[in-house]
Structure 1
């Protein structure tokens, strides 16, 4: 069996993912508050609000505090001359090999949360799908994009 890839994504990915998930959790909490207001206005049972608060609290704990750390521990990647090896997943670990000969183009992307931490993601597009290596340092993402692009071009010339 092959060894796991050696390279990890940036540790600040945990902070960025926590912020993104906190925004989603905030929406759940707003819905919970709205449900409590509706139960007060229409005199519904308070169990609906209590259930929504329990679900919101559980989702907040899981998605904001627990899963980003586990997600970061599992994310690894490595670029070889002939392929890109990506490993990710929490319960089900997915190991993907992307042959360089199949790479059509490589992009970097950066949203406002990643930009705040000087991070960027690398997207590797093939004819079938797109693979992403998330939350690398901006300089590392740019270097990786250029390296994959150069390796993919060399493979196309050989064929």
Structure 2
């Protein structure tokens, strides 16, 4: 009888930057403020009408949901979002409500990119995108400190250049 060793999938080692918590909070806050502004405009337009109490209740509910979301989501995401690279693979874990773990062998990597939107730049963050031939799409490591992201892109570029197999 052949013996087998059980392999356990563990969380990747590295957390994203703590600044990602503030970034995710501000990004979500922008969406909640836009929704609240639309509701306030509708409430002002309906002033004196029969729907004012209902619209005010909806606005209050939106405010409560926004506060709960802004307090919970960024911290939860920070605890979940992780990443790691080895000589053999890139490993990511992301999400907050729905969580995903992905592993891409180094030999399957086709491109390594980084992205920094205006809000990310404000918080000193970047996203690293690792593209493979997988139908599941690229691995994305968001919320990285800009310097860490630059170093990761350089490291993965060097590692994939020396990989024995060609990903194309």
> How is 1:13-24 mapped onto 2 (pairs within 5 angstroms)?
13-24=20-31
How far is the alpha carbon of 1:81 from its aligned partner?
1.2
- How many residue pairs align between the two structures? 157
> How is 1:113-132 mapped onto 2 (pairs within 5 angstroms)?
113-127=119-133, 128=135, 129-132=137-140
Contact 1:25 1:59 survives alignment (8 Å) = no
- What corresponds to 2:12 in structure 1? 5
- What corresponds to 1:46 in structure 2? 52
- What corresponds to 2:73 in structure 1? 67
Correspondence for 1:30 among 28, 31, 37: 37
How far is the alpha carbon of 1:153 from its aligned partner?
2.1
Query: Which deviations, in whole Å up to 9, do the C-alpha atoms of 1:51-85 show, x marking residues without a partner?
Result: 42134213312332210010011011110111111
Once the two structures are overlaid, the 10-residue window that deviates more, 47-56 or 94-103, is 47-56
Contact 1:32 1:56 survives alignment (8 Å) = no
Which protein has the larger Cα radius of gyration, Structure 1 or Structure 2? 2
Contact 1:4 1:87 survives alignment (8 Å) = yes
Return the alpha-carbon distance in structure 2 between the equivalents of residues 67 and 149 of structure 1.
Answer: 33
Distance 1:50 1:116, change over 3 A: same
Question: Which one has a larger percent helix, Structure 1 or Structure 2?
Answer: 1
Correspondence for 2:150 among 125, 139, 142: 142
Contact 2:107 2:165 survives alignment (8 Å) = no
Q: Which runs of 5+ in 2 are unaligned?
A: 1-7
